[in-house]
Structure 1
Amino acid sequence: MVRAWTVRGGEQGQREQYALDKGLVIAGWEEVGDLTGCESIDDLGTILARAYSDEPARTVENWKHQLWRFIAMQIDDLVVMPRKFRRVVAIGRLTGPYEYHSDAAPGFRHVRPAEWIRTDVERAAIGGDLRDSMGAFLTVSELSRRNAAQRVQALAETGADPGYDGGVEPPADSDALERDVTEEGTRQLTARDLMSLWGWQRRTAETVDFVDRALAERGMRVDPHFTEVQLDGLVTVSPQTPAVAEQDTKGTTAGGPDTSASGTSADADTDADLSWRIGSLPIADKVVTVSAQAPLGDALLLMVEGDFSQLPVVNQYNVLRGVITWESIAQAQLAERKDTVGEAMDPHPPRTAQTREELFSRIGDIQHRGFLLIVDEENAVRGILTASDLSHQLRLRVEPFTLLEEVERRLRRATGHLTDEDLPDHVRKRSRAGNLSLGQYPFVVADNACWKKLGWPFGQHDMANRLKAVADYRNRLAHWDIDAPDQEAEALVVTRKLLKLLKVVDRDPTP
């Protein structure tokens, strides 16, 4: 079965053109000599440990697996080489076994013969999941999931990615995750599945810190960070260690990560905190767009039918080229430019955002325009966040706090006739009547003497259980997270029902 691999052309893209010109796939590790007789990954590990004796054991282990992949790739396998300073990738097919070119320049000696089928496949044409799985921080990694090999084959033949709509089977546990990352170079899974490997379900500060530490202890990193996507959004886990040993301009070994896949530095600050990120909110991913070459009438039809004030204008790969608005259409008609969408585009660049951006920094744009276009690293339109979406999400997050506040207010009034002496001993030691916390009311209601004095027309144990459930809900909300509305829908219903019961025993004053 044909497999697909990513092999980069050097930390600074120094091997790319030579590889394309000579019909080769090239790896670095110039301190290592001819590996033709290397028969196992363990033999390779011994050679690397001797050649790079000053490097940490974890780094050498990572390099061992990368270089073994390079040697073990089969003839006819597909290879993807992202271009460092261009928004394209080259795709080729291996035509020969591993070779060592001793007369080549250092860093150019470990090679595999290849036929380069396409050298300019636009990265925007590749689905975001497949782009991410190309291993932004590794020189050699396998593309093995979500029909990756078939999709690379389609890209080689047509320049377009057919995509994949299915789910991702998560690793069985954290050990399996580490094993997959070691053997393949990267591992994709959802943010929800990543947290669940350590028994977490909600993205609280404790969860984020724990998972980040657990990944770091195993020498792994996650990109994008699992707080920057929706719970069921994909993240990619890869090794933290340097991608490959390269020579810098002074001739010393430099172990910096290869960032050619994403065009971003591996050292970039991911701001892994609990700020609301645009990507953590539900975003409409079915965005109505129009081509610049389309007749202007097509845009008018879409705008009238959808009651849109603007339409994104995109190319064949959904890359944003501009927007068309009613104002820009009117200006184009006044200037007698009214044939195509491109002639009627707004001359000003559209406001866009990426999923990792902090939400509150862009609220002004949403208020001003009514929506914000969401684009990826290639400027392809991936979604839209509207003012209506934002108001709904704010309501989901604010409503629990307002309900809980009213519950506490009514409880204080409904129990206001209780004195300190009425309270159970263990409650009285901590609080005074009229100043009880929500977590203490279940004990008050469960006390027979208090319950008799309250005189509420409900079942005592049922009411105590309801109060405890709502108090527990409040305690969970106190540990702020970005997913509570989705995770606590049932608890919110319980709170609403409790409030309805409290309104029976705590009637509002008659005006």
Structure 2
Amino acid sequence: MTISENPHRCWARFCDDQGVPSQADRGKPMAERTVDGSADEPLGRASYLFEGRRVLVSDLVHAGLLGAGTRLTFRQRRSGQDHLAQVTSDGRIELSDGQRFKSPSAAAAATTGRGPYDGWTSWALDDGSLLDAVRQEFLDTVAELPRSGAVAADGHAARHARLKDARRQADAEAPVTVTVRDLLGWWGASRRGYVVTEQVAAELANHGLSTVPDFAAVGIDDRVTLTGPSRDTEDGEEKAADQEPTAGQEEPREASTPGPATTSSDEEDKGEPIQGQTVGNLPSALKGVVSVSSSASFEEVFTRMRLNGYSQLPVLSGPRNLRGAVTWESIARARYADPEAPFSEAIVAAHAVSYAEHLIDVLPDLERFGFLLVKDQTNQIAGIITVADVAAEYGATARPFLLIGDLDRQLRRVISEGLDMTEVITLCDPDGRRKLSTFDQLSYGDYQQVLGNQEQWDKLSWPLDRKSFIARLDELREIRNELMHFNDKDKAGDSAIPMLRNMIELLREHSG
């Protein structure tokens, strides 16, 4: 293991290699450097690799914490076989057969042809320390750098300490459990847009943490547990082998916990992740189920369904053994065919899906059965979804789109009726490249450009504060972008709909 005597100097060289400091910062002391000339955030914080990217072996090499040629060993516990590798100068893991990998997990899996493995806790240095320990030293070094006291910097430091504590508790088998909403709050977020989701996943992975169940695949008020890497990679391999592969999975995962614990995967950067509603995002998906056994009576079933207002009940033999379901229709059919029919004659086929499956992929089964049972990360039947649940979900998703369309029309009407097109073109298309000629060609950005101009604003003669109005318009622009790109897993929802309605009503009131 090659570790510099001065980690801060190594980190400074790392930042320099990455091209992070601006030209104006060259030669300045570490504590005085800024990113992109900003005086608000110190170099160590802004270049902290928590910002949406997982730490790579190459980062450790650039920081001077690993040297080229450092030997790594992956020992399989049961067989006692050792697999050797070395770190290359460009931060790859090179196996004895010459294969090179950016991912420690992929390298570990390639040595045996099996997996998944948590590569960071599989590979050890000659002194016995794990690759994960070097990664944690890297993160600690950055956290200890001088900071300016900016709010953002303080937030990074607090989150780093909180994640370190969560890892300690996970390793002590006393893991932290929080709601998804509270977890997002560690990052100052209230919804799971793609940027936030990727940042949370990356920072959790950097600390060797994952959430069970996957925080991105359950409701925002559901609880998740922060778990650490498996202590036995071979046990993790066997557990993972029992699970069906998650849709879209392309390479072995690091986490050994059953289910799609995406927060601990050691994936290479793949750009903007594809977001989509999962079964687990529906409020009823993991809220528990009322069930009966196959030995139940018609009277028991009838009573349970009436008391709870249910149209169906799953029939279970244990929490993971789905035997079928009983519905009002199946009861009527069984009794119609034979008034003395036993309860077993009313049991019909039922279908169970994983909480992590994409909602759109299960719609054919939902149409076929009318309802679906939902399996949690341990494969227990943990909830039920119906056609009504999906209709409500898509209705809630569609509502903000309708309001955004109305807002767009109101803004265009205000500008077209109150302002001169020639002046609007001068503001929005001064060089004529867009060839603007009508108000219908204006974009949302154009509305902001025009209404943000003091001269144009004064022509509207509104008794409103321009800065407050434009600030809200910019908030709605961000919400609009999230929705239009389908990147907000939690939708604009509760907060955006009132904001949109209030803006629309204000425009109607003051535009005549």
Short-chain TM bin: 0.5 to 0.7
Q: Using a 3 Å threshold, how does the CA distance of structure 1 residues 52 and 339 change in structure 2: closer, same or farther?
A: same
Q: Using a 3 Å threshold, how does the CA distance of structure 1 residues 181 and 309 change in structure 2: closer, same or farther?
A: closer
User: Offset at 1:359?
Assistant: 0.5
Mapped to 2, the partners of 1:307 and 1:60 lie a distance apart of 51
Identity among equivalent pairs (%): 27
Number of the residue aligned with 1:323? 325
Q: Using a 3 Å threshold, how does the CA distance of structure 1 residues 403 and 350 change in structure 2: closer, same or farther?
A: same
Number of the residue aligned with 2:355? 355
Matches within 5 A, 1:78-477: 173-184=162-173, 187-240=176-229, 243=232, 257-260=236-239, 263-264=242-243, 267=252, 270=260, 272=262, 273-283=274-284, 285=287, 287-303=289-305, 308-315=310-317, 317=319, 319-333=321-335, 336=338, 338=340, 340-346=342-348, 349-376=349-376, 380-417=380-417, 418-423=419-424, 427-429=428-430, 432=436, 434=439, 435-456=441-462, 463-477=469-483
The 3-state SS of whatever aligns with 1:415 is helix
Mapped to 1, the partners of 2:290 and 2:394 lie a distance apart of 25
Q: Does structure 1 retain, via aligned residues, the 8 Å contact 2:193–2:482?
A: no
Mapped to 2, the partners of 1:405 and 1:428 lie a distance apart of 23
Q: Does structure 2 retain, via aligned residues, the 8 Å contact 1:293–1:340?
A: no
> Aligned-pair RMSD on alpha carbons?
4.2
Can you list the C-alpha shifts for 1:202-248, whole angstroms capped at 9, x where unaligned?
3222223223332333334444332112223333444446615xxxx
Mapped to 2, the partners of 1:488 and 1:365 lie a distance apart of 27
Q: Does structure 1 retain, via aligned residues, the 8 Å contact 2:163–2:204?
A: no
Query: Which is further off, 496-505 or 333-342?
Result: 333-342
User: Offset at 1:361?
Assistant: 0.8
Q: Using a 3 Å threshold, how does the CA distance of structure 1 residues 294 and 192 change in structure 2: closer, same or farther?
A: same
Mapped to 2, the partners of 1:216 and 1:378 lie a distance apart of 21
Q: TM-score, normalised by structure 1?
A: 0.55
Matches within 5 A, 1:10-21: none
Matched, 1:493 2:498: yes
Q: Using a 3 Å threshold, how does the CA distance of structure 1 residues 186 and 389 change in structure 2: closer, same or farther?
A: same
User: Offset at 1:356?
Assistant: 0.9
Letter in 2 for 1:341: F
Q: Does structure 1 retain, via aligned residues, the 8 Å contact 2:211–2:261?
A: no
Number of the residue aligned with 2:43? none
Q: Does structure 2 retain, via aligned residues, the 8 Å contact 1:229–1:279?
A: yes
Q: Does structure 2 retain, via aligned residues, the 8 Å contact 1:276–1:482?
A: no
Mapped to 1, the partners of 2:194 and 2:261 lie a distance apart of 13
User: Offset at 1:496?
Assistant: 0.6
Letter in 2 for 1:453: K
Matched, 1:58 2:130: yes
Query: Which is further off, 187-196 or 204-213?
Result: 187-196
- Equivalent pairs counted in the alignment come to 344
The 3-state SS of whatever aligns with 2:166 is helix
Identify unmatched segments of 5+ residues in structure 2: 1-76, 82-120, 135-158, 246-251, 254-258, 263-273
User: Offset at 1:366?
Assistant: 2.6
Mapped to 2, the partners of 1:439 and 1:271 lie a distance apart of 38
The structure that is strand-richer by fraction is: 1
Mapped to 1, the partners of 2:298 and 2:506 lie a distance apart of 59
Mapped to 1, the partners of 2:180 and 2:334 lie a distance apart of 46
User: Offset at 1:55?
Assistant: 9.2
User: Offset at 1:355?
Assistant: 0.6
User: Offset at 1:287?
Assistant: 3.5
Query: Which is further off, 285-294 or 268-277?
Result: 268-277
Letter in 2 for 1:491: A
